[in-house]
Chain A
Amino acid sequence: MVVGKVTFTKLEREKLAEVLWLLNWISVMTGATLFGLGLFLKIEILKWQEVMSDQGILYVPHMLITTGLAACCINFLGGKICLDCADTNKFLRWKLVMMPYVICTFFFTSCVLVGALMCYSIRGQLEESLFLGLRSAMRFYKDTDTPGRCYLKRTLDLLQIQFHCCGNAGYRDWFHVQWISNRYLDMTSSAVVDRLRSNVEGKYLADGVPFSCCSTFSPRPCIQQQVSNRSAHFNFDRQSQQLNLWRRGCRQALLEHYTGIMQSIGLTVLLIWLFELLVLTGVRYLQTAMENVLRLGDPDSESDGWILENSLAETARSNFNIIKNLGKCYQTDNDPNINVPTPAVEQEVPSQLRPEGSLTSGTPQVQNL
């Protein structure tokens, strides 16, 4: 049973070709948009890649970039093809290319959908990556003399200043790491030695935070040392304590930032995908209508266009058989153990294969008419 059959007159075919030409050009621009969105996302991720432990999240912008480029190329070609389809003579030039073109468009449209879905599904991986990345960044905060880590202090400070956050989950994370390098600690002082001895690993831990945790909304000058000890500072009440440092954790802040960006990008990509689907459907109708015209022989006659010649199940089955037979094409045809199709089935099989014509002997059939 034919899926989505529509009859086209000559005029309607020409109209369809023209409309598709225009839509293909718009698709080139949406492809460029896709490319731009991918590039933007990549730059945003690379800005803070030092606080992410794994770069797996870069798959998303790379997917968008390649799909965008593919969209531009395929739709550019498609525009040329559709323009030529208005004229039956010119269509003959593109006849063999039409089927691969439709298949390519189908695949790349599904890639667009995958790209959009990835934007929404990457959140879990991102959170994990940020948790581990921030933890190691905080641990290496003090290592400004170690090559490869010397800019982590600066990155982390700028991150905390820009995103109004402190630590991984909160400011208390800084109490568990030594963020002051031993180079700046007076090892002869008894206070320092006491602190170093007070924990198993011999780290200098204090209830202090770096200056970048200071909140600009605080009405009093920032208190960075002895943050949790209210009696150490004059008039340090609960409200002052609340406003003193940034309360949010940087993991949460970055997660929200990237999730926001990716949700907007994902929505745009979904809309682009719907548009591409529309273009794909139109091209499919045009392709089948033009091929049927050629089969009927009269360029001015009406022809049918469809999405699938047989039902979805039969098409899937026949495609599966093609793929199986592709593997067998190098075996000899005279092997009696191979299931040789009867003449009746032989008649049926080419007609099933004709819409996917470029892979099999569709062309000679048409020429015989």
Chain B
Amino acid sequence: MALMLVKFDLKKRVKLAQTVWFMYWFAVMAGVLVFSMGLFFKIELRKRSELMDNNESHILPNLLIFMGLIACGINAFGGKVCYDSLDPTKFVKWKPMLKTFLVFCVVFNALLIVTALMCFVMKIPLQFTLSEGLKNGMRYYKDTDTPGRCYMKRTLDLMQMEFRCCGNDHYRDWFEIQWVSNRYLDFSAKEVKDRLGSNVDGQYLMDGVPFSCCNPSSPRPCIQMQMTNNSAHYSYDHYTEELNVWKRGCREALLSYYGGMMNTIGALVFLITLLEVAVTVGLQYVDTSLSTLANPEDPESESEGWILEKTVKETFTDIMAKMKATGKGGKVEEGGEEGVATVS
């Protein structure tokens, strides 16, 4: 018993071919969309690769770009085949390769599903990369005279202002590192010497943050220095002060930004997969309906179309048998013919 058998007359066949051709054009645009999403994601990762220690994995955007290009190619070809299927003379030249093409389409659709799943899964390695990168970035904030790291200060400042965040997990992260370069510290001053002596590593630590942590929505001018010392500022309580600096950590901010992007891309790729499955099924119907004409000479005769010639279980066992046969090598002819008859 064939799977999802449908009877076709000429009008229905023509309607089917036109619909599938139309859907293929949408699928080509969907392929372009996947390609551009991959490109966009790649550019966004490159923009902030400094914050990820230049260590971020570009697997996902590269895969999206690749799949997008293949999708365009496959769908353009499928559209051409559908267009030609309306004319029996033209369709004859496509007929032989249609089966392999359909198998290829099925494999491609499976890969698309894998890509969609990856979009959701790749957030985890990204999280680790981000926290490592940000920690190092903050450490190199003061090294504006070291080649290779001289733009880290600017990158971090711009990122904190753009994403409205401060520090790795919160603003206190800045208290634990020295972010003022020794070039700007007066080593003869008592205050500096005290601070340097107050910790094991001899670093100039202070309870202050860079200016880029300041929140413009704060009603009072920004308090960046001596943040934990209530008496240093008039009418200031650092426990209740909410609006002075950004409360969110940059790791969380960046993660939610990239996470949102990846979720959207994953959802879109999933929808595009559904479209691709639909066009593959449509092409299978076009192919089978044109191969089972009751009277091959008469284009107006009735025909049948299906997704699989036998039930799913039988097709599966046939494929397994065929693979075993080709594996054994000896009975290639018999097994091969049987296999061909089954899959059509």
Asked whether, in the complex, the Cβ of B222 is within 8 Å of the Cβ of A211, the reply is yes
Q: Does B181 contact A (CB under 8 A)?
A: yes
Interface residues on A, range: 20 to 34
Query: 1/0 per residue B152-187: CB within 8 Å of A?
Result: 011001100100000000000000000111011110
Q: Does B211 contact A (CB under 8 A)?
A: yes
- Contact for B234 among A153, A154, A185, CB less than 8 A: A185
Asked whether, in the complex, the Cβ of A222 is within 8 Å of the Cβ of B153, the reply is no
Q: Does A199 contact B (CB under 8 A)?
A: no
Asked whether, in the complex, the Cβ of A221 is within 8 Å of the Cβ of B235, the reply is no
Asked whether, in the complex, the Cβ of B220 is within 8 Å of the Cβ of A184, the reply is yes
Q: Does A8 contact B (CB under 8 A)?
A: no
Query: 1/0 per residue B299-315: CB within 8 Å of A?
Result: 00000000000000000
**Segment at the B interface, from A43-51, A175-183, A273-281, A319-327:** A175-183
Asked whether, in the complex, the Cβ of B221 is within 8 Å of the Cβ of A216, the reply is no
CB nearest neighbor in B for A234: B186
- Contact for A220 among B154, B184, B212, B222, CB less than 8 A: B184
Asked whether, in the complex, the Cβ of B153 is within 8 Å of the Cβ of A211, the reply is no
- Contact for A153 among B145, B183, B219, CB less than 8 A: B219
Q: Does B224 contact A (CB under 8 A)?
A: yes
Asked whether, in the complex, the Cβ of A222 is within 8 Å of the Cβ of B211, the reply is yes
Q: Does A157 contact B (CB under 8 A)?
A: yes
Query: 1/0 per residue A71-91: CB within 8 Å of B?
Result: 000000000000000000000
With A219-B144, A220-B144, A234-B184 as contacts: A154 and B217 at CB distance below 8 Å: yes
Q: Does A362 contact B (CB under 8 A)?
A: no
Q: Does A158 contact B (CB under 8 A)?
A: yes
> B221 to chain A: which residues have CB within 8 Å?
179-180, 184, 210-211
Q: Does B216 contact A (CB under 8 A)?
A: yes
A-facing residues in B212-237 (Cβ within 8 Å): 212, 214, 216-222, 224, 233-236
Min CB distance B224 to A, Å, is: 7
Q: Does A214 contact B (CB under 8 A)?
A: yes
With A180-B221, A214-B211 as contacts: A220 and B183 at CB distance below 8 Å: yes
CB nearest neighbor in B for A217: B154
Asked whether, in the complex, the Cβ of B219 is within 8 Å of the Cβ of A221, the reply is no
Q: Does A347 contact B (CB under 8 A)?
A: no
> A161 to chain B: which residues have CB within 8 Å?
161, 216
> B68 to chain A: which residues have CB within 8 Å?
none
> A220 to chain B: which residues have CB within 8 Å?
144, 180-181, 183-184
Q: Does A239 contact B (CB under 8 A)?
A: no
CB nearest neighbor in B for A155: B216
Interface residues on B, range: 20 to 34
For the complex, what is the distance from the CA of A170 to the CA of B37, rounded to whole Å? 42
Asked whether, in the complex, the Cβ of B216 is within 8 Å of the Cβ of A153, the reply is yes
B-facing residues in A211-247 (Cβ within 8 Å): 211-212, 214, 216-217, 219-222, 224, 233-235
> B185 to chain A: which residues have CB within 8 Å?
234
With A180-B221, A220-B144 as contacts: A154 and B184 at CB distance below 8 Å: no
For the complex, what is the distance from the CA of A144 to the CA of B234, rounded to whole Å? 17
Which of B153, B216, B218 has most A Cβ within 10 Å? B216
Asked whether, in the complex, the Cβ of A211 is within 8 Å of the Cβ of B184, the reply is no
For the complex, what is the distance from the CA of A230 to the CA of B158, rounded to whole Å? 27
Q: Does B259 contact A (CB under 8 A)?
A: no
For the complex, what is the distance from the CA of A184 to the CA of B232, rounded to whole Å? 12
With A211-B211, A214-B211 as contacts: A144 and B220 at CB distance below 8 Å: yes
Which of B153, B158, B179, B185 has most A Cβ within 10 Å? B153
> A158 to chain B: which residues have CB within 8 Å?
216
Query: 1/0 per residue B200-214: CB within 8 Å of A?
Result: 000000000011101
For the complex, what is the distance from the CA of A351 to the CA of B236, rounded to whole Å? 88
Min CB distance B193 to A, Å, is: 13
- Contact for A221 among B180, B216, B220, CB less than 8 A: B180
CB nearest neighbor in B for A225: B225
Min CB distance B157 to A, Å, is: 5
Min CB distance B323 to A, Å, is: 59
Asked whether, in the complex, the Cβ of A144 is within 8 Å of the Cβ of B210, the reply is no
For the complex, what is the distance from the CA of A219 to the CA of B146, rounded to whole Å? 11
Min CB distance A195 to B, Å, is: 14
Q: Does A186 contact B (CB under 8 A)?
A: yes
With A184-B235, A210-B222, A224-B211 as contacts: A219 and B153 at CB distance below 8 Å: yes
For the complex, what is the distance from the CA of A161 to the CA of B212, rounded to whole Å? 10
The 10 closest A-B pairs by CB, nearest first: A157-B216, A144-B219, A219-B144, A234-B186, A186-B234, A211-B222, A222-B211, A211-B211, A214-B211, A211-B214
B residues bordering A, Cβ < 8 Å? 144-145, 150, 153-154, 157-158, 161, 179-181, 183-186, 189, 210-212, 214, 216-222, 224, 233-236
Identify 6 new A-B residue pairs, CB closer than 8 A, beyond the known A212-B216, A216-B153: A144-B219, A184-B235, A219-B150, A220-B180, A224-B211, A235-B183
A residues bordering B, Cβ < 8 Å? 144-145, 150, 153-154, 157-158, 161, 179-181, 183-186, 189, 210-212, 214, 216-217, 219-222, 224, 233-235
